[in-house]
Amino acid sequence: MNPRPAAPDLPAWLTWWQRPFPDAHTLLLTGRRPALIDTGFVGHAEETAAWVRATAGHVDLVVNTHWHSDHVGGNALLQAHGAGIAAGAPEAEAIARRDPGCCSAEYLDQPVPPYTVDLALDDGQVLRLGDTDWEVVRTPGHTPGHLALWEPEERLLVVGDALSDYDVGWVNLALDGPGAAGTALASLKRLADLAPRVILPSHGPIPADPGATLAAALRRAQRLVDDPDGAVWYGARRILAFALMIRGGVPADGIEPYLHARAWLTDAAGLLGRTPEDLAEELVTTMLRSGAIVLRDGRLYAAAEHAPVTADTMRVPYPRAWPEAASPGT
């Protein structure tokens, strides 16, 4: 565990843990109600829990910016240790129903251990995290339930996967409809209107120039709106790279059969007017050519920096097999 020391422009009550993929960054807010924003990937849940114990002793509440596997993987373990879980209302409701599509876990083939949501969050709601009040800002686009958190006194903005210093969140036009990119762009415009002093993203460094970072994000998001096919390709590249990260690579002779079995690849092919077989072949070829993935000793690996994951930590059921959610108060 190597938490990044607080930057000079961050308050002392906020501890920022910048983590490599496949984990989202983790943010600890200390005080009378210790809280954690996002919990990383299931493969590193024990590491997350140990960091919480060493840094704060415990947390009362976990707040998820959204339900993808790299943000909620430590939820179950921290909940077992007594933490409540808060999430955007659309995702909280699906978790309560045990919807088979929860977390897009099965769809993306990204394991998430079963958890429940204790507090559904709506736009404009104010949460006391640590000793400070944060406003919930609904920012759908990357997922329908995605949210940001705004602390107006210090002008701190937690943005989840809505944007980073180098990127914007991919959008799923197959699951969320052709308007998903426009929804993401509208969310970014709302964040830009807040004029934050500090942006705290889920991936990459804290941006040195928040205004410039938001302006660049708006341009990138506009390109996803203007080029739906490009948006589909962008998402496919991100999903495949993540799959290689969490599996320690995939044998080169097994990558195309793996892709042919993935629902997200089939949906992407349909949107692009391609066969899944053609798309899988071109996806691998173009990512090898660009250097996004590399071939080494007969296996394909993601080229981006990432932490290794032990295979047995990913042996959790898909949401369709999760146990029924406990009723509130039980």
Q: Which of 180, 196, 226 is the last residue of a domain?
A: 226
Nearest residue to 70 via CA among 325, 242, 286: 242
Is residue 328 domain-resident? Answer: no
Is residue 108 domain-resident? Answer: yes
The residue range of the domain holding 74 is: 14-226
Q: Is the pTM of this model over 0.85?
A: yes
CA-to-CA dists, residue 291 to 137, 285, 287, 302, angstroms: 36, 10, 6, 9
Q: Tell me the pLDDT tens digit for each residue of 166-206.
A: 999 999 999 999 999 999 999 999 999 999 999 999 999 99
Average pLDDT over all residues of the chain = 96
**29 & 142 share domain:** yes
**126 & 237 share domain:** no
Give Cβ neighbours of residue 122 (< 8 Å, ≥ 6 apart): 89, 136, 138
Is residue 188 domain-resident? Answer: yes
Question: Where are any strands of DSSP class E within the chain?
Answer: 14-17, 26-29, 35-37, 61-63, 84-88, 119-121, 126-129, 132-138, 147-151, 156-160, 198-201, 250-251, 293-296, 299-302
**213 & 238 share domain:** no
Q: How far apart are CA 22 and CA 321, in angstroms?
A: 24
**222 & 233 share domain:** no
Is residue 321 domain-resident? Answer: no
Q: Tell me the pLDDT tens digit for each residue of 7-37.
A: 558 999 999 999 999 999 999 999 999 999 9
Q: How far apart are CA 27 and CA 55, in angstroms?
A: 11
Q: What is the CATH number of the domain that holds 274?
A: 1.10.10
**279 & 210 share domain:** no
Is residue 4 domain-resident? Answer: no
pLDDT band at 330 (very low <50, low <70, confident <90, very high): very low
Q: Tell me the pLDDT tens digit for each residue of 78-116.
A: 999 999 999 999 999 999 999 999 999 999 999 999 999
**29 & 93 share domain:** yes
**111 & 195 share domain:** yes
Number of domains the chain is built from: 2
**146 & 259 share domain:** no
Q: Tell me the pLDDT tens digit for each residue of 218-242.
A: 999 999 999 999 999 999 999 999 9
Cross-sheet strand order for the sheet of 14-17? 14-17, 26-29, 35-37, 61-63, 84-88, 119-121
Q: Tell me the pLDDT tens digit for each residue of 281-304.
A: 999 999 999 999 999 999 999 999
**293 & 145 share domain:** no
**81 & 180 share domain:** yes
Tokens of 83: 């933490």
